[in-house]
């Protein structure tokens, strides 16, 4: 319950930070990291396909509803739902290749968003715009994803190592 | 497997929902069913966003500070440079405006006087650290500026040019202690010298030495330049200043006053060099609007100073013409030019006021008589002198003894009563004005002035040299004490009618002796030429002999003979 509430708060925080801070940073290249996407990816990695899909849908829907929104409602819900499901499924099927899944998701997400927009006849979803923007979006997202993964793996590994200490690190004492 | 199916189911469901959302929203773009949802989201997230922004903005600004620091620095540099440039331009602009105004005023003034001027700007100044008061202007020989030219600005006389370079010139200011200029009191013909007082006075005062100690001089009267010969170094009629204070100088030959120059010598900027003096002396035309005092002075003076006597007798008129001429067309000699000041005889009106008016009466004869006859050195011949001479010469000679005889009697009277007497005569002359009357008066004066002039030479020399140095010469009035030693009555005074050639200094002291019994009367004898009336007081001068071509004259009224000699 607490974890669920923390997750909800975290989601809200991520979305707010995305629109209030990240999108306003004058970053070179025109693009910027997409915290919401990365949040969905991380959640999906942790929760699997179903959880990923649900979280993706929820965060996408939140993104659709979030005030500065001028796109068709459900667009990001659809995209993030798919992303969450795929990443979660990949994590379930091939736990060792989560990095690849993340990279693919990060690279595909903008294309999917643009694709959905294009299908809906959004005049702003232009291939040329996407081509200009896509590299920077991918680079920022990958960099941020790498950072997140490093942090997460560090913490989790440390916890694991600490758990291992009593058994492996002090054999003498154990024998004594 | 179950798990997978469930997952697929859920995914399909979610995707279906999303598609439904999209469809619905897309199809009802105008008034979507989801507007309430958006509204709720907006209110919810709006609060959060506001809070987030509130937290994030300082951070963002902080980050901005760093990210934009180089850019800001560059911009600061650029802005600072631009600011400096604008400030400079502003200063230059206001400076230009001031200069323009000054230039306009200067041109207006010189236009008033009919001068041709070359505008220049002061580029350097020598002042307090040294003793001289001089400025450098940015006009030189290339602009037609030559040494000994008058420099003025919109307010009045500034000084004169002493050295010139191709593109610059050195101007000695009026306030320089070594500079002096002839000056004339506004509305009258009283003349004197303006001498600078140097840094002590901080350019605020100059000394005005009125040559006629008996002339009325009050604070508030204004003075203009008297002018030098050919307008160099001082053009006539340029406003000089206002008399601030008159010193009581008992026992002195001249009266000393202090005048405040019109020009602010501490803030000189745009000046004009007079390259051509006007044909006619502008007189008082260039003075700023006349204050009440001046008007009063004018109205007062005529009766006994300026008003023309009814009948000009040849003698006075000739001298008067000389004076007049000096003031008008041909200003007196330049400074540093020795002037031979002849001692005016008693006959000459001691205070010189009466003769002048007669000159006014005879403008035709009075107008630049010297131009025709002047010798290279600036000797002045008086046109109608010839007529007067024959009689005058003899008379002068005859009166000489007479005068000498009477001199002793008169001397004890002291200098005080002398002016008084003169004034009486003057009054009488202006009132009556017939020739006979005049002559008798002049005889009387002659008699009353008769004195051995020996002692007066020194004094005369002083005065005369002062005048010479100052550029007052032709047309200037000169005076010398009579009697032996100081304290005696004034022996003579007169108007210089000619000027020695430049570069012949010291004649005054050197050949003062020997003349026709006049003892040391300057200019008499000694020069090898005949002197018409070097009787005791009326010395004069001439020169064709040793002095070759320069002569000088003197005195108003006193001298009757020898004009031809001068001429010839």
Per-residue confidence (pLDDT) for residue B403, from 0 to 100:
39
> Min CA distance, A118 vs chain B (Å)?
13
pLDDT at B433 over 80: no
Instruction: Choose between A103 and B347: higher pLDDT.
Output: A103
Q: A15: which chain B residues are within 8 Å (Cβ-Cβ)?
A: 45
CA B35 to each of CA A89, B16, B18, B23, B42: distance values in angstroms, whole numbers, following the listed order:
34, 20, 16, 14, 10
Instruction: State the average pLDDT for chain A.
Output: 78
Quickly state the pLDDT bin for B32 (edges 50, 70, 90).
Answer: low
- What letter does residue B343 receive in the DSSP assignment? P
B7 and A49 in contact by Cβ < 8 A? yes
Contact B204, B224 (CB under 8 A): no
Per-residue confidence (pLDDT) for residue B127, from 0 to 100:
57
Contact B146, B250 (CB under 8 A): no
Per-residue confidence (pLDDT) for residue B80, from 0 to 100:
92
What share of chain B in percent tops pLDDT 70? 45
pLDDT at B85 over 80: yes
pLDDT at B82 over 90: yes
Number of alpha carbons in the 13 Å side-chain half-sphere of residue A160 = 6
Comparing CB atoms, the residue among A49, A61, A66 nearest residue B45 is A66
Instruction: State the average pLDDT for chain B.
Output: 58
pLDDT digits (tens, 9 = 90+) for A34-77: 888 888 888 888 888 888 888 888 888 888 877 666 777 888 88
Range scoring the smallest mean pLDDT among A4-13, B52-61, B286-295, B336-345:
B336-345
pLDDT digits (tens, 9 = 90+) for B179-224: 778 888 887 777 788 888 776 666 678 888 887 777 778 888 888 8
Instruction: Choose between B387 and B138: higher pLDDT.
Output: B138
> Min CA distance, A108 vs chain B (Å)?
17
Q: A21: which chain B residues are within 8 Å (Cβ-Cβ)?
A: 52, 56, 59-60
Helix (H, G, I), strand (E, B) or coil at B194: strand
Per-residue confidence (pLDDT) for residue B78, from 0 to 100:
93
CB atoms within 10 A of CB A154: 10
Handedness of CA B254, B259, B265, B266 (dihedral sign): positive
B65 touching A, CB under 8 A?
no
Instruction: Choose between B168 and B423: higher pLDDT.
Output: B168
pLDDT digits (tens, 9 = 90+) for B213-264: 777 788 888 888 877 766 677 888 888 888 888 887 776 667 788 888 888 8
Q: A82: which chain B residues are within 8 Å (Cβ-Cβ)?
A: 11, 15
Which range has the top average pLDDT, A107-116, B131-140, B506-515?
A: A107-116
pLDDT at A13 over 80: yes
- What letter does residue B143 receive in the DSSP assignment? G
B19 and A60 in contact by Cβ < 8 A? no
Radius of gyration of chain B (CA): 41
Contact B171, B160 (CB under 8 A): yes
Per-residue confidence (pLDDT) for residue B79, from 0 to 100:
93
Instruction: Choose between B431 and B261: higher pLDDT.
Output: B261
Gap between the Cα atoms of B356 and B362, Å rounded: 10
Instruction: Choose between B113 and B545: higher pLDDT.
Output: B113
Gap between the Cα atoms of B213 and B216, Å rounded: 8
Contact B239, B155 (CB under 8 A): yes
Gap between the Cα atoms of B375 and A58, Å rounded: 120
pLDDT digits (tens, 9 = 90+) for B361-419: 333 333 333 333 333 333 333 333 333 333 333 343 443 444 334 433 443 333 333 43
A74 and B21 in contact by Cβ < 8 A? yes
B38 touching A, CB under 8 A?
yes
Instruction: Choose between B165 and A171: higher pLDDT.
Output: B165
pLDDT digits (tens, 9 = 90+) for A108-146: 888 888 888 888 777 777 777 778 778 888 888 888 888
Residue of B nearest to A73 (CA): B22
Q: A25: which chain B residues are within 8 Å (Cβ-Cβ)?
A: 60, 63
Instruction: Choose between B114 and B72: higher pLDDT.
Output: B72
Per-residue confidence (pLDDT) for residue B520, from 0 to 100:
28
ipTM of model: 0.71
CATH fold of B96-292, please? Thrombin, subunit H (2.40.10)
Which positions 524-543 of B are in contact with A (Cβ < 8 Å)? none
Comparing CB atoms, the residue among B14, B48, B64 nearest residue A12 is B48
Quickly state the pLDDT bin for B425 (edges 50, 70, 90).
Answer: very low
In this prediction, residues B325-341 reach a mean pLDDT of 37
Per-residue confidence (pLDDT) for residue B291, from 0 to 100:
53
CA B214 to each of CA B248, B253, B537: distance values in angstroms, whole numbers, following the listed order:
12, 9, 19
A53 and B10 in contact by Cβ < 8 A? yes
Q: B64: which chain A residues are within 8 Å (Cβ-Cβ)?
A: 26
Domain boundaries along the sequence of chain B: 96-292, 333-567
């Amino acid at each position: 319950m607490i974890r669920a509430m923390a997750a909800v708060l975290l989601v809200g925080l991520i979305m707010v930070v995305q629109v209030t801070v990240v999108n306003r940073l004058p970053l070179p290249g025109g693009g910027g990291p997409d915290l919401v996407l990365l949040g969905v990816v991380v959640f999906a990695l942790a929760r699997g396909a179903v959880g990923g899909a649900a979280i993706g849908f929820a965060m996408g829907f939140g993104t659709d509803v979030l005030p500065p929104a001028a796109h068709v409602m459900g667009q990001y819900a659809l995209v993030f739902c798919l992303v969450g499901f795929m990443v979660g499924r990949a994590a379930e099927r091939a736990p060792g290749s989560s990095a690849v899944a993340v990279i693919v998701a990060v690279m595909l997400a903008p294309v999917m968003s643009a694709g959905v927009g294009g299908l809906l006849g959004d005049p702003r979803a232009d291939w040329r715009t996407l081509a200009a923007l896509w590299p920077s979006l991918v680079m920022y997202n990958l960099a941020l994803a790498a950072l997140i993964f490093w942090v997460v793996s560090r913490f989790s590994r440390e916890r694991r190592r600490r758990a291992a200490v009593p058994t492996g690190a002090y054999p003498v004492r154990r024998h004594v | 497997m179950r798990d997978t199916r469930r997952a697929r189911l859920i995914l399909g469901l979610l995707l279906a929902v999303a598609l439904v959302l999209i469809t619905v929203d897309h199809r009802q773009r105008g008034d979507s069913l989801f507007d309430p949802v958006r509204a709720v989201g907006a209110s919810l997230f709006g609060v959060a966003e506001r809070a987030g922004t509130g937290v994030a903005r300082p951070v963002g600004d902080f980050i901005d500070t760093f990210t934009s620091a180089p850019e800001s620095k560059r911009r600061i540099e650029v802005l600072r440079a631009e600011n400096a440039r604008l400030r400079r331009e502003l200063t230059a602009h206001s400076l230009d405006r001031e200069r323009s105004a000054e230039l306009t005023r200067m041109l207006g003034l010189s236009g008033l006087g009919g001068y041709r001027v070359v505008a220049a700007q002061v580029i350097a100044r020598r002042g307090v650290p040294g003793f001289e008061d001089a400025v450098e202007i940015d006009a030189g020989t290339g602009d037609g500026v030559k040494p000994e030219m008058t420099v003025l600005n919109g307010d009045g006389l500034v000084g004169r040019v002493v050295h010139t370079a191709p593109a610059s010139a050195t101007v000695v200011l009026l306030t320089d202690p070594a500079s002096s200029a002839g000056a004339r009191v506004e509305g009258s013909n009283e003349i004197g010298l303006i001498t600078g007082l140097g840094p002590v006075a901080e350019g605020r005062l100059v000394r005005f030495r009125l040559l006629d100690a008996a002339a009325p001089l009050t604070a508030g009267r204004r003075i203009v330049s008297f002018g030098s010969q050919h307008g160099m170094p001082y053009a006539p009629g340029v406003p000089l200043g206002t008399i601030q204070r008159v010193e009581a100088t008992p026992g002195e030959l001249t009266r000393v006053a202090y005048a405040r120059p019109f020009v602010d010598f501490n803030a000189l900027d745009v000046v004009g060099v007079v390259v051509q003096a006007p044909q006619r002396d502008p007189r008082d035309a260039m003075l700023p609007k006349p204050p009440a005092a001046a008007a009063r002075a004018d109205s007062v003076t005529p009766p006994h100073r300026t008003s023309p006597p009814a009948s000009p007798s040849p003698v006075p008129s000739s001298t008067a013409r000389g004076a007049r001429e000096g003031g008008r067309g041909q200003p007196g000699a330049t400074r540093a030019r020795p002037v031979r000041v002849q001692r005016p005889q008693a006959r000459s009106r001691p205070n010189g006021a009466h003769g002048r008016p007669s000159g006014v009466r005879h403008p035709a004869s009075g107008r630049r008589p010297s131009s025709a006859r002047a010798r290279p050195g600036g000797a002045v011949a008086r046109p109608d002198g010839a007529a007067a001479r024959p009689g005058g010469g003899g008379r002068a000679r005859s009166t000489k003894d007479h005068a000498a005889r009477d001199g002793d009697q008169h001397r004890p009277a002291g200098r005080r009563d002398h002016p008084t007497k003169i004034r009486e005569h003057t009054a009488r002359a202006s009132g009556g004005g017939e020739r006979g009357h005049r002559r008798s008066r002049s005889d009387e004066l002659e008699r009353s002035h008769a004195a051995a002039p020996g002692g007066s030479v020194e004094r005369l020399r002083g005065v005369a040299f002062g005048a010479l140095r100052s550029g007052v010469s032709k047309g200037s009035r000169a005076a010398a004490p009579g009697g032996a030693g100081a304290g005696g009555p004034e022996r003579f005074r007169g108007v210089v009618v000619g000027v020695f050639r430049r570069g012949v200094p010291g004649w005054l002291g050197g050949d003062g002796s020997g003349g026709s019994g006049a003892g040391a009367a300057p200019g008499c004898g000694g020069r090898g030429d005949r002197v018409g009336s070097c009787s005791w007081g009326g010395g004069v001068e001439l020169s064709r002999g040793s002095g070759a071509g320069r002569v000088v004259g003197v005195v108003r009224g006193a001298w009757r003979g020898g004009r031809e000699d001068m001429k010839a």
